[in-house]
Chain A
Amino acid sequence: MTGSGQGRDPQGIGRFDVPQQSPALDAEPARRNGHRPAADLAPTPTPADEVDTATSDEVDTTTSDEVDTTASGEPVSLDGDRAADGTPGGTAPAVPDRPRDQWDRRVAGGLAFLRRRLSGEYEVDEFGFDPDLTDAVFHPLLRLLYRDWFRTEVSGVEHVPVDGPALVVGNHSGTVALDALILSAALHDKHPARRYLRLLGADLVFRMPVVSEIARKTGGTVACNPDAERLLGGGDLVGVFPEGFKGIGKLYADRYKLQRFGRGGFVSAALRTGTPIVPVAIVGGEEIYPMLADIKPLARLLKLPYFPVTPTFPLLGPLGMVPLPSKWLIEFCPPIPTAHLTDSADDPLVVFNLADQVRETIQQTLHTLLERRPDPFGP
């Protein structure tokens, strides 16, 4: 505490002069005056949640720092601080409501969230998407993962429309479909309109208990044309990985080689609704669980599409489930308009050509991103 106070002193000398001049009676705003430059100095994060955490930490440290410095410096100003702090505590009933106290707000917010959950007072859409739970639980967890563990850099967010439908098509990788979750959380945080990405998942996902529940609550649904068209028709942002299990279940030797794009069902869904397609290239997912081999008999036994062997799994058991901290780059490419092709949704030639165009765009972007990232585990 004192250490950080001393560390900040060089910049702080100037601003601590200010409260000394003004009488101690309104110490509360003076303290805020002192705090404001510190908030400006805080690192760059733009999304609201990040700002929230950053400032709340700052407030707490600066307030206690200030008490420390004033205590050691001027006893007069300390008394003033006390008085200012004490008066509301004395007049207010039992517990003062401190609207400026970040921790108080967070505790109250957390409790209100718990109460909402326990009494069922939240909304779920017809696909089972629960924004309340996604914002409060899943995205903060994913944020830790993509920001701190994978050090993800996102570019080209401006290519994702601010409103209206769009179909985001990405490359799939990483043995476990973590890239889809990372993409949705990162897009939600970086996009100016904080849009949710509605993921389309294989039916295997919806066969599994617990997993299916989480998938629906975070906005996912079964990859089928009726659902895709319904979401796009409702103006949602839909995320799809046409490679499917071929993409995530490929060996490490085949990393960043796009697999076949199936029958191009995603293209016909976009064509039927006239939705632009936004290709997205994701680099980093291939290294999190490098799959060295696939034990096919075991996979058949467990009715899974593949059974992965990575350097750490199944050798280290549950520890092998920890993803390796690779460096991630996500780039959204310029949207491909489809509004003029609405009539050709059933024309296989148009569908395949468009699917190829999307595939080529993603593959080339992958190559450029890989050049930008020479070391997979770099900073």
Chain B
Amino acid sequence: MTPGSTSGAPGVVVVTGVSRYLGAHVAARLAADPRIERVIGVDAPEAGAEFSDLLDRVERIRVDAGSLGGLLADLDVDAVVHLALVSAPDPQHGGRSGMKEQNVIGTMQLLAACQRAPRLRKLVVRSSTAAYGVSFRDPAVFTEETEPREVPRGGFGRDILDVEGYVRGFRRRRSDVTATVLRFAPFIGSTADTTLTRYFAQPFVPTVFGRDPRLQFLHFDDALEVLHRSIVEDHPGTYNVAGPGVLSLSQAIRRAGRVAVPVLEPGLSGAAALARSMGFGRYGLDQVDLFVHGRVVDTTRLEQEYGFTPRSTAEAFDDFIRAHHGGVVVTRSQLAAAEQLVLDGIRQVRAAVRERTS
């Protein structure tokens, strides 16, 4: 498949999870594409009415996952974009068990429905680089072929492994459907609101003592672009989607003008567990493991297949910094001024000493 081919633009597209940030933006973007006739946003019945201003051109259907099967067949759906994944337990929606229900059971039911949709040609599933798990023996850079060495401790990582397993099964049973799995690095950008952007928005940022993980981010707009291309073009397979390049956590914190507060790892795990059980904060073992091990993926396959390179991790992070300059503790210009001040001071003292001795 040549990059940029548009022959495969589908007529009717179903997007799941449109009540969430990513789903709403993807659905709105697809609705604005003249090549696509209908965009249908599917939601759980209890989902709120957020983002409804974005979704005025999207038909919204509220249905529980169990009765999706008939719906997909009735609507003559050509493509399904599955974005209804929850990355952190939300106490208002059932905590961890609600998260697992949505991620694993929701995906199972959606894929079962897809299997019975006769016209379906395309399936795009949101996954995450958390699929690689964490281990001290991991290679520094993950390619799509790397198998996880250890099952992740965090709930999201385990859910992602399950979701990808179901997609593999679906591929076997419906080999006529172009299935694309996109393993996204953590989103960041001027508007995105995720666990990680909230983390970096604090003035004092907890880190794990003695660890400086390598991180990669994906600009939210580039995620939209890749998802859009996956629908209107044909790109079967699994792809890592991340901004090229790497920032270490300490470097990212300094660039954001925040202050790192190193915490011993057992303390941080305990604090994360405590915070979760008490129902506030959304940091889990997923985040702790990420901050111990870091995660870097190879995006060569994406660049070759899509003919598209997301903006680099550093650029994406800069965009985030520009939008969140509220909690800055030290700015670059302050540092530069301090540098000049100290340098001038030393020069003056040395000049004075020289005057006196000569």
Q: Flag if B140 contacts A104 (CB, 8 Å).
A: no
Does chain B have a CB within 8 A of A85? yes
Do residues A216 and B347 form an inter-chain contact, with CB atoms below 8 A?
no
Give Cα A112 to B348, complex, Å.
18
Q: A128–B248 Cα gap in the complex (Å)?
A: 7
> Does A40 have its Cβ within 8 Å of any Cβ on chain B?
no
Q: A119-B335, A227-B140 are in contact. Are A111 and B254 (CB under 8 A)?
A: no
Q: How far is the CA of A104 from the CA of B246 in the complex (A)?
A: 34
* Contact (Cβ within 8 A) A112 B358: no
On whether the beta carbons of A126 and B252 are closer than 8 Å, the reply is: no
Q: Which of B202-252 contact A (CB under 8 A)?
A: 208-212, 214, 245-248, 250-252
How many positions in chain B have a CB within 8 Å of any CB in the partner chain? 46
Known: A114-B339, A216-B212, A217-B212. A124 touches B246 (CB 8 A): yes
User: In the complex, what distance in Å separates the CA atom of A120 from the CA atom of B335?
Assistant: 11
A104: B residues at CB distance < 8 A? 347, 350
Chain B residues lying within 8 Å of A349, measured Cβ to Cβ, are none
Interface pair B343/A85, CB less than 8 Å apart: no
Closest CB of chain B to A70's CB: distance in Å?
11
* CB <8 Å contact, B296 and A126: yes
| A13: B residues at CB distance < 8 A | none
- Does B150 lie at the interface of the complex (its beta carbon under 8 Å from any beta carbon of A)? no
> Is A206 part of the contact surface with B, judged by Cβ < 8 Å?
yes
Q: Is there a chain A Cβ closer than 8 Å to B275's Cβ?
A: no
Contacting residues, chain B, for A227 (C-beta < 8 A): 139-141
**B132-155 CB contacts (< 8 Å) to partner A:** 136-141, 143, 146
Interface residue? A8 (CB, 8 A): no
B346 on interface, CB distance cutoff 8 Å: yes
Segment of A18-26, A89-97, A285-293, A364-372 in the binding face: A89-97
Which residues in A have their C-beta under 8 angstroms from that of B140?
A: 126-128, 221-222, 227, 230
| Inter-subunit contact B141/A126 (CB<8 Å) | yes
Asked whether, in the complex, the Cβ of B141 is within 8 Å of the Cβ of A230, the reply is: yes
From known contacts A67-B358, A126-B296, A209-B211, infer whether A95 and B141 are also in contact, taking CB-CB under 8 Å: no
* In the complex, A318 has a CB within 8 A of chain B: no
Least Cβ–Cβ distance between A31 and chain B, in angstroms: 13
B126 interfacial contact with A, CB 8 Å: no
B351's partner among A67, A96, A114, A210 (CB-CB below 8 A) is: A96
Q: Name the B residues within 8 Å of A55 (CB-CB).
A: none
For residue B49, which residues in chain A have a CB less than 8 angstroms away from its CB? none
A295-333: CB near B (< 8 Å → 1, else 0) gives: 000000000000000000000000000000000000000
Residues of B within 8 A of A111 (CB): 339, 342-343
* Residue in A103, A118, A210, A224 with the greatest tally of chain B CB atoms within 10 Å: A118
**Set of chain A residues within 8 Å of B343, measured between Cβ atoms:** 107-108, 111
Interface string of A113-151 (1 = CB under 8 A from B): 011011111101111101000000000000000000000
Q: List 27 A-B contacts (CB under 8 A).
A: A95-B347, A103-B350, A107-B343, A107-B346, A108-B343, A111-B342, A115-B339, A117-B254, A118-B254, A119-B255, A120-B250, A120-B254, A120-B255, A126-B214, A126-B245, A127-B140, A127-B141, A130-B248, A207-B136, A209-B209, A209-B265, A210-B210, A212-B210, A213-B212, A216-B214, A224-B137, A226-B143
Interface residues of A (CB under 8 A from B): 64, 67, 81-82, 85, 89, 94-98, 103-104, 107-108, 111-112, 114-115, 117-122, 124-128, 130, 203, 206-213, 216-217, 221-222, 224, 226-227, 230
B residues within 8 Å of A by Cβ?
Answer: 136-141, 143, 146, 208-212, 214, 245-248, 250-255, 257, 265, 294, 296, 330, 332, 335-336, 338-339, 342-344, 346-348, 350-351, 354-355, 357-358
